[in-house]
Amino acid sequence: MAIETIRADRQAKLVRLFEAGMEAYPARTTRTHTGEQFLENHAILLKNSEEIVLAGRVMSMREHGGSLFVDIFDGTSKAQVYFQKENLAENAFEQFTLLVDTGDIIEAGGVAFTTKRGMPSLLGNSWRMLAKSLVPVPDQWFGIKDEEERYRKRYLDILLSKDLADRIRRRSVFWNTIRQFLLERDFVEVETPVLETTTGGAEARPFVTHHNALDMDVYLRISAGELWQKRLMVAGLPKVFEIGRIFRNEGMSSEHAQDYTQVEFYEAFKDYEAGMEMVTSLYRAVADKVYGSQIFSIKGVDVDLAKEWATYDFCALMREEYGMDPREAGGASGAAGWSAALEKKNIPFEKNAGIERLVDSAWKQIRKTISGPGFLINVPVYLEPLAKKSAKDPRVVERFQVMLAGSELGKGFSELNDPSDQAARFKRQQELREAGDEEAQMPDAEFVEALEYGMPPAFGFGVSERLFSFLEGVSIREAQIFPLLRRKG
């Protein structure tokens, strides 16, 4: 039957509801129990013969002569309501069969009852419409097969898929576990600006919008307030964090989204080595709380977070694969050398790119081979403009990245707090921007000024919801509740 015909039929039922003196969309319900509570306490409710009111969406109806079996779902659990004609008020049974469709949201009053087959049920003695459905919900056994249609009508996808609804609940536990982990360690949760005049804290192309009141262009932030949180280190707040939305105007893939949630936290008087211990504990806590396990299969790779985490040396791995030391940015190890190495291995790269992008392209090929769990360390200074140089080798920074199943799932470092060094690094980033690198960081003179007042040594770390998608074993798009779509039509 065509959807227009179905809608017209249900619109006609709306009119008949009103004619019978019934509301189709009342503001209140007299529900006494959720579906879950009803089933958990069914034996007690059966014994007490207590009057109960359930509410939920009609998922299925089966009529047998003068009786009806109706399955309703309220988001907690599915409950069965059994209606017999003689138990209802005059015409109520007929009105139900004529005016109620699958997809409608109703409430049903009655007492606990067990069917001959032992099914805990509600023996209904009344019903009321709560929300008339004008279009049918797809069959729950087959759902919506077209991927884009699933995303576009995500509310139906969630309604029909218990796994997806459970994923949303796990997503909540995931972020709240991280929040609780930090709060228990005396971190202060903060909120920093989403609109910025200068983006900072990451290398990414930003979204641009116009601020009408101030008549100027501003950017949507590309990090969860990194440079703002470091200002709070200057201000004397030693432990801060933010869980918030960030925006990057970049490509889409199974691991990349344009707007997503990220946590960043900073702790004064700690360095990246202490940070690695903390992050190991954090990831294990998340695994335990959300999944009850430390063992995951991610993209065909078995990962055990409980085992000792490995350490991977960036420069050593690059020398082994390409025969060049990325710490040396001149001569044979400069841009020309890396271009030749990439070309020899048929690795795509941008012509006339700086050494930063060339080395990053070369690294991404190696990254795919690392199973983890572990930490990537000893990255050259020119790849990280916000991290402190290593005291052991000033050609690299004190930075680590969490490596899991061939991807980077979290980054932390000893924060750069030398204003002169930070200004020089920003200058280099500006040179890259002027050369056409749209992902290079924007210089932030006001942040450098804040550093001039003195920022204590500190450790910082950030990880996005990509980690959640990896632990779930799905794409980041599938792990989001409402992923971004093109405008229909």
pLDDT digits (tens, 9 = 90+) for 318-368: 999 999 999 987 766 788 899 999 999 899 888 778 888 899 999 999 999
For residues 36 and 127, is the Cβ–Cβ distance under 8 A? Answer: no
Q: Is the pLDDT of residue 116 over 80?
A: yes
Q: Kindly report, residue by residue over 271-300, the tens digit of the pLDDT.
A: 999 999 999 999 999 999 999 999 999 988
Distance CA 393, CA 396 (A): 6
Q: Kindly report, residue by residue over 226-272, the tens digit of the pLDDT.
A: 999 999 999 999 999 999 999 999 888 888 899 999 999 999 999 99
Q: Is the pLDDT of residue 392 over 60?
A: yes
For residues 208 and 196, is the Cβ–Cβ distance under 8 A? Answer: no
Q: Is the pLDDT of residue 109 over 90?
A: yes
| Tokens (6 digits) for 210 | 């116009």
Sheet arrangement for strand 259-268:
188-189, 239-247, 259-268, 458-464, 407-414, 399-404, 374-377, 310-313
Helix and strand numbers (H, E) in the chain are: 16, 20
Entry pTM: 0.92
Check residue 204 and give its pLDDT: 87
- Which residues touch 417 (CB under 8 Å, ≥6 apart)? 388, 451, 454, 455, 456, 457, 458
For residues 52 and 32, is the Cβ–Cβ distance under 8 A? Answer: yes
Check residue 332 and give its pLDDT: 66
Q: Is the pLDDT of residue 141 over 60?
A: no
Q: Which domains, ranges and CATH numbers included, belong to the chain?
A: 3-137 (2.40.50.140), 159-309+372-479 (3.30.930.10)
Check residue 330 and give its pLDDT: 73
Parallel/antiparallel/unpaired status of strands 239-247 and 259-268? antiparallel
Q: What is the mean pLDDT of the chain?
A: 93
Beta carbons within 10 angstroms of residue 358's beta carbon:
23
Q: Is the pLDDT of residue 78 over 90?
A: yes
Look at residue 275 and give its three-state secondary structure: helix
Check residue 143 and give its pLDDT: 62
| Tokens (6 digits) for 342 | 């990439």
Distance CA 219, CA 224 (A): 13
Distance CA 136, CA 474 (A): 29
List the one residue out of 207, 265, 277 whose CA is nearest residue 233: 265
> Tell me, what DSSP letter sits at residue 291?
I
What is the mean pLDDT of the segment spanning 309-326? 95
List the one residue out of 230, 216, 235 whose CA is nearest residue 447: 230
